[in-house]
Amino acid sequence: MSMDHADPMISGVERSQSTIEITFDPGADRLIGLGFTNGILQVLTLGIYSAWAKTEVRRKLWSFTRLNGEPLEYTGTGRELFIGFLIVFAVVLLPTFVGGAAISILFPGRADAVTAYQLAVYTLFLFLVGTAFYRAQRYRLSRTQWRGIRGALVGSAGQYGWTYFWTLAGPAVFITAAALLAAWSIGPDVGGTILLIGFIAALWILPWRANKLQRMMTDATRFGDRPVTYTGTPGPLYARYLYAWAGSAMVILAGIAISVQMFIASGAFQVWTQTKQLPSLEDGAKLAAVWISVLALCATITASYRASQIRHFARHTHFDGASFRSNVSGPRLAWLILSNWLLRIGAIATAISAGSVLIYVTGAIPKAGTTDAARIGTATLDVIFIVVPMVVMSAVATAFAQFRSTRYLVASLSLDGVVDIDTIMQNQDAAPKRGEGLAQVFDIDGF
Amino acid sequence: MASSAAGSDDHIEYYARFSDGKSAGARDATVTLGLSGLEIVQASPHVREVWSYANLRSGEPLRERAVDALLRSTASAGASLFVPGQPFAAALMMRAPHLTARAERWRHARPWIGLAVVIAATGAAVYVSGWSPARAIATGLPDSWRQRLGQQAITSMTEGYKKCVDPRGLDALRSLNDRLADATGTGRPFTIVVYDWPLTNAFAVPGDQIVMTQGLLAKAESADEVAGVLAHEMGHGIELHPETGIIRAVGLAAAVELMMGGSSGGLANIGLILAQLGSTRTAEREADLQALRVLRQAQISPAGLGNFFKRMLALEKKDDMPSQLKQFDILSTHPPTEERRALVERQEPYAATSALSKAAWNDLKGICAITVEADPVRTPADPRQPAP
Ligand SMILES: [Zn+2]
């Protein structure tokens, strides 16, 4: 618990320097019951409830997170989230949808018009994704409080969105232009080579970019009136990135080598060159096994890089006289991600099997020759049998997965050093009125 | 947590931490469960205040196994009181039952149960009244949009088949089209295109356009039968069924997107399937009624309509036609043949002449003697004039 050093009086103000212990309530409810209730209500309200469901999960997760034993509070409401979503739906999603429909009606059969439209939409969305991240974080911080003191994110979402955008789009445009120029002036082979090497090289911008975005976000973060600061530089990330990059490259090359070896050794390749006959099922299964292992290995390597990035970000994040520290480990993060995925897949598979059994038992299969009313009736019943368990089970899996992620990330976080808690005053900035909208639409708001 | 009166919680003092909400600091305090509210005494400076039970709000609802309580009072903005330990939370549950998980759950669920009832009632009302929002929108679509929608539908459905353009056949088709279109009384011109496609089929697409196959012409036994089929398809057109179907599908997809928070996928397709299944029977009856009206106005016998569909349904049962093709119009018409025949027979007899002269009927049957590649993009400048 807290360790209060009673400092001498300084200019009439009592100063107390305390350590802050971050814990995750070990007796916390697993949120399975809550997920179940949320799923049922989502079905009954045709999905409208999902904003409220998300809020309920957050309220729980926040209250499980404790600073010196006292819980964080989440004060956001489902209504705020829902209105934010409705606005974004009306302003971004619906116009995009209608625009796409209009383009394909006005230029029937013109694939190029549709492609141009899609490119424009993707470009806009890439910009909006960064903005969405920032706005979501701003909303969540403004709705997070401890001892009644709010968090805040100052700064401009547009600026963050723009940085997010150009650090990806800039290199892509540059490389593509260079490749086109080379293809036009020297030859298509050179252009293609430049494109391939260029995009592989461009991956090396990612640690720098992540660090830059982290700095923008952290430096704009406040707890009460006190700023959080970030001092990290991208340098240390690069050694880790080199391992991850080289490791993944080697795994992929090995995967290619093994598949080629398997195909030539089994003769499938020779058969294919002569008769264009596809490889046998057994060979196909072997190939799938090789590439699933390749993917799993790459995911583990990526997770270990992500873990080191989380540790780097934490280490260089300072608050008052203290610095954060995270002991997230690569293998455990990889396992967390993988097991959460398995959890979701398992939940949905269970739901579909349960639904199929229900359909089989009740014999609700649409039959030709019956009246329309009867067919619509049975089809509706089938949809209900499949969709209801699916929505409920995935709500359960989502809540539990979010619980597991939060528990791990919070439990591995600590704050080293002392904080002058008593002098942190309430933040006077106006908090955003509506929920995160955009992030919800892009499904990137996490939890 | 000194207790002075065992057996009653009235005078138990609980340790608490009080925050005023102005700074992140917290002061040690003791709290007792008084008669009308919580009595909070801060240690230094010595401040005593009472938070009435009615004004209390809890961060998380109180439960039997809650290990602590975080409380606020609506009368004391910003301030919060954190009381660690299970006994206080359990004791408070008795005094402030509105803070329990059960009360909170009910308060939370009530508006949602109401909403679910409203949704169900609205759905039932729409279903019972037969009002169709998709139909209402379809009525408001500008003609040029309907034309383009139809062009797109034709392009995607007839891909790989050639258009039949024998000049004498076109003439015969035009005269039949004129006779029927004039009889619709809507003043809207119809576009009828024949494709060199062995399948027996005819379908209406948006923009008053009708696609007919060579297979249908080959199976028809008289011009009256073709006239009956065309009148039925014109009936679909007059009733805006193709437009309504597309709008219903798009609307359902959008609704599913909205419901799934914009990140849907598979569920949208279920909506589409339901949309296709929806109300086809009503639509067929409406088209039949329109067809009978048009045929009477054009002074063509309605017998052809009944005969042709009857024969085709009998054929369909024998044919091992690929099932996905059955969704096309004439093969998906499932009003029982009996009902349709009764409808035709109930018609008051009227003076009728053959839909086409023998010569013209032969010309129409030969319309696919000359075919052209259907160009994918055609500006619907003169929809009645098929491209040469
Ligand atoms: Zn029909």
* B150-191 per-position pLDDT tens digit: 887 787 777 788 999 999 999 999 999 999 999 988 888 899
- Tallying the residues shown for chain A, one arrives at 447
Q: Average pLDDT of A334-359?
A: 90
Confidence grade of residue A437 (pLDDT, cut at 50, 70, 90): low
Rounded to a whole number, what is the distance in Å from the CA of A281 to chain B's nearest CA?
28
pLDDT over 70 percentage in chain A? 88
Mean pLDDT score, A224-234: 94
* pLDDT at residue B294, rounded to an integer: 93
Same domain, A166 and A201: yes
The average pLDDT across A252-266 equals 84
What is the arithmetic mean of pLDDT over A185-199? 87
Q: What is the pLDDT of residue B159?
A: 78
Classify residue A297: in a domain, yes or no. Answer: yes
Centre of ligand 1 from the C-alpha of residue A306, in Å: 59
Question: Looking at per-residue confidence, does A225 or A16 come out higher?
Answer: A225
Q: Which of A372, A384, A388, A443 to mutate to test the interface with B (most CBs of B within 10 A)?
A: A372
B253-294 pLDDT tens trace? 666 666 555 444 444 444 455 545 444 667 788 888 999 999
Strand pairing of B191-196 and B209-213? parallel
The shortest C-alpha distance from A105 to chain B (Å) reads 6
Whole-model pTM: value is 0.74
- Between B231 and A287, the more confident residue is B231
Residues A249 and A215 in one domain: no
Does any domain span residue A405? Answer: no
Verify that A197 and A244 share a domain, yes or no: no
In a domain, A204, yes or no: yes
Q: Please tell me whether the interface predicted TM-score (ipTM) of this complex is above 0.85.
A: no
Looking at residue B109, its pLDDT comes to 80
Q: Stretch B212-219: mean pLDDT, rounded?
A: 89
Residue A291 lies in a domain: yes
The C-alpha atoms of residue B242 and residue B276 are separated, in whole angstroms, by 11
CB B368 within 8 A of CB B386: no
More confident residue, B316 or B328: B316
Range of the domain at A194: 156-219
Inter-CA distances, B376 with A348, B25, B54, B242, Å: 42, 74, 73, 20
- Residue A430 in any domain: the answer is no
Of the candidates A50, A223, A375, the beta carbon closest to that of B277 is on: A375
List the single residue in B23, B82, B84 with the smallest CB-CB distance to A425: B23
Whether A168 is in a domain gets the answer yes
- Please give the residue that has the higher pLDDT: either A266 or A408: A408
Tell me how far apart the alpha carbons of residues B146 and B148 are, in angstroms, rounded to a whole number.
5
Is residue A239 classed exposed, middle or buried when 0-12, 13-18 and 19+ CB atoms within 10 A define those classes?
exposed
Tokens, residue B230 = 């065309």
Alpha helices in A316-366 (DSSP H): 330-362
On whether both A211 and A250 belong to a single domain, the answer is no
pLDDT band at B324 (very low <50, low <70, confident <90, very high): very low
Domain boundary among A189, A219, A249: A219
Asked whether the predicted pLDDT for residue A445 surpasses 90, the reply is no
CB contact under 8 A, B262 and A89: yes
In a domain, A423, yes or no: no
A52 interaction partners in chain B (CB closer than 8 Å): 112
Closest-CA distance, B269 to chain A, in angstroms, reads: 11
Number of structural domains chain A divides into: 2
Neighbours of A120 (CB within 10 A): 12
Shared domain for A297 and A240, answered yes or no, is yes
A241 and A295 share one domain = yes
* Assigned domain for A199 exists: yes
Count of pairs with CB atoms under 8 A, one residue in A, one in B: 135
Q: What is the pLDDT of residue A446?
A: 47
